[in-house]
Amino acid sequence: MIKKFMLLGAVVLSLTTNAQDSKRGFYLKAGGSYFIQTVPTNFPVVNGYAPVSESNVNGVKTTRLISGSFGEGFRTNLTGGFRFTERLGVEMGVHYYQSNAKTMFERETIVGPAYYNLSGKGTVRALDLSPSLVLYLGEVNKFEPYTKVGVIVPVYGHLTIETKGNTPSTPLINRTDVVKPQPTLGFMATVGTSYKITNNLSAFAEVEYRNFTVKGKNKEVTVFDVNGVNVLPSLPYSETHSNYVDTLDASSNTGTNTSIAKDELASYVSISGVGLSLGMRYNF
């Protein structure tokens, strides 16, 4: 009898080990996401324009503060992972993100029949990596929920600000500023589930939160047209290039030296958001 119980225990242990081993190994995930913004902040000053929506109708002014986040937009995802056990694994994601355009300032003026409008809109494009730790919660009826936490490591990115329009005192302009960020890290947390289609192929859905705030490093004007004429070559270097600093003092270049980049106070933009990701996973 004891031998039979020992044999039964060995069979159960063998089946459990085989089940865990079947989960172990490499996999590849590909998919897409759409994020909505969270943690809105006040937008920075853009070319001397405060982040407000200002309306002036025949001398009657209305001003509204503009705040927001560049965390709303589309993200393309490619992720490699390795599962150590039935419950634990790691992933490394590569993500390309393009935000929706956000209005950072706006000036609207109506004087009699004349209408003037000047606005600045920003768009973020970024490529980042996301190493993360994955905890699997167990498979039930082909569904396997999981959670993961990780960090966001930016590889490349910039904020593009396009200023267009005119005012009673400003001719028709078309200007593009490109702001590059300082190196920084972000945080991500995810809950999701996979659905087994075959032994190697699964579909997955994830809800992901990303907390990511970026500080500007420098800015360059890449386009500047006035009334359809390119005036960029005629502008001094200090008018087309800026370095962002934490403090302005007597040693700062506030535009007095036109041959080098101008110093401006640094500002932050938020790229935080909550998104839904859908895609496929292949187990090797």
Q: How far apart are the first and last CA of the chain?
A: 42
Q: For residue 246, how many other CB atoms are within 10 A of its CB? A: 7
DSSP letters spanning the chain: -HHHHHHHHHHHHHHHHHHHHHH-EEEEEEEEEEEEE-S-EEPPPBTTB-SEEEEEETTEEEEEE-EE-S--EEEEEEEEEEE-SSSEEEEEEEEEEEEPPEEEEEEEEEETTEEEEEEEEEEEEEEEEEEEEEEE---BTTEEEEEEEEEEEEEEEEEEEEEEEEETTEEEEEEEEEEEEPP--EEEEEEEEEEESSSSEEEEEEEEEEE-EEEEEEEEEEEEEETTEE-GGGS-HHHHEEEEES---TTS-SSSSTTSPEEEE--EEE--EEEEEEEEEEE-
56 vs 283, residue with greater confidence: 283
From the centroid of its chain, how far is CA 163?
A: 21
> What pLDDT, in 10s, does the model give residues 65-110?
888 889 999 999 999 999 999 999 999 999 999 999 999 989 888 8
Q: What are phi and psi of 237, to 5 degrees?
A: -55, -40
> What pLDDT, in 10s, does the model give residues 213-263?
889 999 999 999 998 899 999 999 999 999 999 998 888 998 889 999 999
Structure tokens, 149: 């936490």
Structure tokens, 83: 């599962």
Say what the pLDDT of residue 21 is. Answer: 54
> What pLDDT, in 10s, does the model give residues 3-35?
444 444 444 444 444 444 567 999 999 999 999
Say what the pLDDT of residue 109 is. Answer: 86
60 vs 185, residue with greater confidence: 185
> What pLDDT, in 10s, does the model give residues 122-149?
999 999 999 999 999 999 999 999 999 9
Whether residue 266 contacts residue 45, with contact meaning beta carbons closer than 8 Å, is answered with: no
CATH number for the domain whose boundaries are 24-40+68-102+122-283: 2.40.160.20
Per-residue pLDDT for 56 more than 60?
yes
pTM higher than 0.75 for the full model?
Answer: yes
Say what the pLDDT of residue 22 is. Answer: 66
